[in-house]
Amino acid sequence: MSTLTQTQLVMILLTTLIRIPKSNPFLQSAFALHRPSLIRSNQISQKQHFHGAEVRTSLFSIINSSATTENIPWKNSSTEEDTRLKSRNKRFRQHVNPLAAKFQQPTTLSPNWPNEFYSTPCLPLFLDIGCGKGGFLLSYATHGNDADDYNFLGLEIRPSVAEYAQSRVSKHGLDGKLSFVGCNANVDLDRLLTEYHRETRGGKLGQVCIQFPDPHFKKRNEKRRVVNKELVSCLIRHCQSGVRVLIQSDVKEVFDDMRIKFREFGEGYFEDIVEDIEKYLEENPLGIMTEREISVLEQDLPVYRTLFVRTDLVAE
């Protein structure tokens, strides 16, 4: 016989809002299992009964606490060994819905972020939005011609993938130089960049990459794409004049959508270095490629890319 979690039990009780029937031994046993912990956490009193109007406040309190503890994907309790085993024994999920309630929760940051992760916190930040397993930033931080000029930060919405990327930092000798954060960029980007600027006493955003993001092909899912008006507006506020934003994809429709949004929502603030909207950069201007880019080019397939450069127009 399966066991109900606390949240499942609460949802059943909320649905029925009646006294637990004695004729249902499974539900009786599930309630008996969780009742002591609920009493200890003051979520119900010794005399409270699960029926009628008396239950509503307690049940919603339990649901809220359960959502707080069970539904936040960014709570990182995994050890490096846990992450290594996960990466060996299962494939990472390829797609998530960034609009799902749990992915709308702010990420959990270390109290000392970013200073404990960067040896020279005042350096400009090289930001990779949607970094995946982190291969691009690991390569750039190691081999990039101007790598010494930056600290590196990768954002990844899939928590287990972000954990795996972070586990690779020490192996590449990049502690104090590179960090990965599991988060939804459309929720946390402004907060992260604001904290980086404040906590590092003036650290700026130096360069941005958005490479091969989840295409969310279906028309009804286009709203899930990472580049939207809010993201462009956030980058406008945090990018100083001359900061470059590289966007690229192997899906033309996805690339064109990103490009149009930067042109439309960033008009006057970002300049596309390729003026003709029907043309693209033929070569990667950074000199370091992502795993996806390498794979696509090896198949002799096109990659669509361009660079936007922040103008000196002051954000309102």
Q: Looking at the annotation, which residues are catalytic?
A: 214
Alpha-carbon distances, residue 12 vs 17, 38, 102 (angstroms): 8, 16, 21
Q: How far apart are CA 17 and CA 2, in angstroms?
A: 22
Cross-strand partners of 247? 210, 306
